[in-house]
Structure 1
Amino acid sequence: MKFHQTTLKDAMLIDLERRGDDRGFFARTFCVDEFAANGLPTEFVQQNTSYSANKGTLRGMHFQRAPHGEDKLIRCLRGAIVDIIIDLRPDSPTYKKWEAFELNDENKRQLLVPKGFGHGFQTVSDHVEVTYLVTAKYTPSAEGGVRWNDPAFGITWPLEPTDMSDKDKTWPDFAG
């Protein structure tokens, strides 16, 4: 794996090192030693997956409040997404800054989203499947979010959203 710092403190983009032949390819998506050597989490307790049928579907921006914060390792298995993260850690030098990453079934990239970040994505193709490992179990009472179009962040999404949950449409204005 090749690890690349992003413009946001502690967030990491990870390229797989594919080894291929006539059958296809092989690549590691996680190695405890390589993650530890890059200062990344090495213990994941849950794996989640989502499927979105339609291009333009928007999911997010989600986080879990401390002490239930979770690091996430995101990967798009089918189709393509633009994944957006926001640093919501008040003591961070990149506080309230956001960055976007294209993850798709061709580039095979992964994104490590640190705890304390808001996370969401928009599908830019139909029939999208995303999987992610998390370092903490989902705790409903710790769930939080910021609205996809909150003026506090000015996120530029690739498309006008076509599908979104009622909860994601109605998160309150950011009060940080």
Structure 2
Amino acid sequence: MKIRPLSIEGAWEVTSPQHGDPRGMFMEYYRFDHLAEAVGHPLRLAQANLSVSARGVVRGVHFADVPPGQAKYVSCVSGAVLDVIVDLRVGSPTFGRWEGVRLDDVDRRAVYLSEGLGHGFCALSESATLSYFCSATYNPTGEHTVHPLDPDLGIEWPADAPQLSVRDAAAPSLAEAVAGGLLPSYDAVREFTASLDNG
């Protein structure tokens, strides 16, 4: 298993070897020990989600209050998506920057994003199923979204006419989220993740 950091601190790409023969394929697509070694602490599995989307659907950019935040381990079990990580931590050296990773059912890569980062994706195939393990259960009062089409973010979504949920379409811009005090601070996130490293 190869785990490499992305350009945004707190985000990693995971590539696992696939073992195939005429019967099919086998792989370890999640190893808590390998991930913990790279990240500094194990991912506490509190909830697992499946999301099925049609081509051109854009979901996100979603994030959670820190603490407790919500770290995610994301893979595409069917189809293909452009998975996007956005640094929403106020005060971070890469604040407002995004990075995209293609996740699909061929290379079967995964991404891990730590607490405080924003997450979104765009379905590239006719249907795409995303699986993600989460470090915290869903908390409707502590989870938020930033508008995925905000020009200040400048995310290059690979869809001519992105399809958004009502919630995402009504989301504040990055500037509005900053002004409203919705975003986590870089220092608070670092302090929280450091407590996980020591715990």
* Letter aligned with residue 17 of structure 1: P
Contact 2:76–2:104 (CA under 8 A) maintained in structure 1: yes
Question: Residues 14, 27 of structure 1: CA spacing in aligned structure 2 closer, same or farther, 3 A cutoff?
Answer: same
Which protein has the bigger helix share? 2
Q: How does 1:120-131 map to 2 (within 5 A)?
A: 120-131=120-131
Q: Say which SS state the counterpart of residue 172 (structure 1) adopts.
A: coil
Counterpart in the other structure of 1:28: 28
Question: Residues 170, 44 of structure 1: CA spacing in aligned structure 2 closer, same or farther, 3 A cutoff?
Answer: same
Q: Say which SS state the counterpart of residue 38 (structure 1) adopts.
A: helix
Task: Count residues with an aligned counterpart.
Answer: 175
* Letter aligned with residue 29 of structure 1: Y
Q: TM-score, normalised by structure 2?
A: 0.83
Q: Say which SS state the counterpart of residue 159 (structure 1) adopts.
A: coil
Deviation at 1:128, TM superposition (A): 1.1
Counterpart in the other structure of 1:12: 12
Counterpart in the other structure of 1:50: 51
Provide the C-alpha distance between the structure 2 equivalents of 1:36 and 1:68, rounded to a whole number of angstroms: 18
* Letter aligned with residue 35 of structure 1: L
Deviations 1:115-156 (A, max 9, x none): 111111111111211110000111000011100111221111
- Higher alpha-carbon deviation: 38-47 or 128-137: 38-47
Counterpart in the other structure of 1:88: 88
Counterpart in the other structure of 1:114: 114
Q: Say which SS state the counterpart of residue 111 (structure 1) adopts.
A: strand
Runs of 5+ consecutive residues of structure 2 not aligned to the other structure: 179-199
Contact 2:10–2:114 (CA under 8 A) maintained in structure 1: yes
Counterpart in the other structure of 2:188: none
Contact 1:58–1:161 (CA under 8 A) maintained in structure 2: no
Provide the C-alpha distance between the structure 1 equivalents of 2:147 and 2:111, rounded to a whole number of angstroms: 21
Provide the C-alpha distance between the structure 2 equivalents of 1:100 and 1:39, rounded to a whole number of angstroms: 19
Provide the C-alpha distance between the structure 2 equivalents of 1:74 and 1:32, rounded to a whole number of angstroms: 14
Counterpart in the other structure of 2:154: 154
Contact 2:20–2:26 (CA under 8 A) maintained in structure 1: yes
Question: Residues 162, 39 of structure 1: CA spacing in aligned structure 2 closer, same or farther, 3 A cutoff?
Answer: closer
Q: TM-score, normalised by structure 1?
A: 0.93
Q: Once superposed, what is the RMSD of the aligned Cα atoms?
A: 1.4
Provide the C-alpha distance between the structure 1 equivalents of 2:148 and 2:160, rounded to a whole number of angstroms: 11
Q: How many percent of aligned residue pairs carry the same amino acid?
A: 35
Runs of 5+ consecutive residues of structure 1 not aligned to the other structure: none
Provide the C-alpha distance between the structure 2 equivalents of 1:104 and 1:85, rounded to a whole number of angstroms: 16
Contact 1:150–1:173 (CA under 8 A) maintained in structure 2: yes
Deviation at 1:162, TM superposition (A): 4.3
Q: How does 1:67-78 map to 2 (within 5 A)?
A: 67-78=67-78
- Higher alpha-carbon deviation: 60-69 or 137-146: 60-69
Contact 2:43–2:71 (CA under 8 A) maintained in structure 1: no
